[in-house]
C-alpha cells in the first residue's frame, strides 16, 4: 500500500510539473525566477512525500538537502503552528529559503517561489480530494 501511495505521489507531482515547465519555458523571465518557482514546487513536493519522516531520520541522509528541507519545515511548523493554517506553513519555509537566496544574489523574483508553493498545494489538494472520493465510491459500490 505504501509503495502504491508513493508511486501515485510521484506521478501526480511530476505530471503537474510538466505543463508548468512548458509554460515557464516560453515566458520571458530570468532563469533565477524560474529556479525559484521550481525550488518551491519541489520543496513542497518533497515534504508531502509519504514516509519522508522515516527517510530523513536515517543516518544516510545526515548531510542531505532533503533533511535540511524537512528540518526547516519542522522549525516553521513548530513556531507558527496555531497562528496560520497548515497549507500556508508549508509555503512559508520555501519562501524563507528563497528570500535568503534573493538577498545574496539580488536576482530573480522570490514571489514566483510563493506561486510555485501555492500551485503545488492546489494540485496536491485536488488529487487528494479526488482520491478520497474515489475510495468512498468504491467502498459504497456502484
Q: What is the C-alpha separation between 70 and 72, in angstroms, rounded?
A: 6
- Asked if pLDDT for residue 19 goes beyond 80, the answer is yes
Q: How many domains, the chain?
A: 1
> Model pTM?
0.80
Between the CA of residue 114 and those of 26, 85, 137, what are the distances in Å? 20, 15, 35
Host domain of residue 40: 2-140
More confident call, 27 vs 134:
27
The grid coordinates listed for 72 are: 526547516
**Predicted pLDDT of residue 138:** 62
User: pLDDT digits over 58-113, tens only?
Assistant: 777 778 888 888 888 888 888 877 777 777 777 788 888 888 889 998 888 888 88
Please tell me the predicted confidence (pLDDT) of residue 3. Answer: 80
Query: Would you give the end-to-end CA distance of the chain in angstroms?
Result: 23
Look at residue 132 in the predicted model and tell me its pLDDT: 64
Amino acid at each position: 500500500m505504501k509503495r502504491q501511495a508513493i508511486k501515485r505521489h510521484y506521478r501526480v507531482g511530476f505530471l503537474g510539473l510538466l505543463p508548468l515547465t512548458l509554460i515557464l519555458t516560453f515566458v520571458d523571465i530570468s532563469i533565477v525566477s524560474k529556479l525559484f518557482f521550481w525550488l518551491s514546487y519541489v520543496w513542497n513536493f518533497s515534504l508531502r512525500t509519504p514516509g519522508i519522516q522515516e527517510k530523513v531520520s536515517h543516518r544516510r541522509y545526515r548531510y542531505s538537502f532533503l533533511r535540511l528541507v524537512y528540518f526547516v519545515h519542522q522549525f516553521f511548523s513548530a513556531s507558527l503552528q496555531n497562528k496560520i493554517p497548515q497549507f500556508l506553513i508549508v509555503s512559508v519555509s520555501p519562501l524563507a529559503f528563497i528570500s535568503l537566496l534573493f538577498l545574496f544574489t539580488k536576482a530573480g523574483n522570490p514571489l514566483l517561489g510563493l506561486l510555485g508553493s501555492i500551485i503545488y498545494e492546489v494540485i496536491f489538494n485536488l488529487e487528494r480530494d479526488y482520491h478520497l472520493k474515489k475510495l468512498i465510491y468504491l467502498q459504497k459500490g456502484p
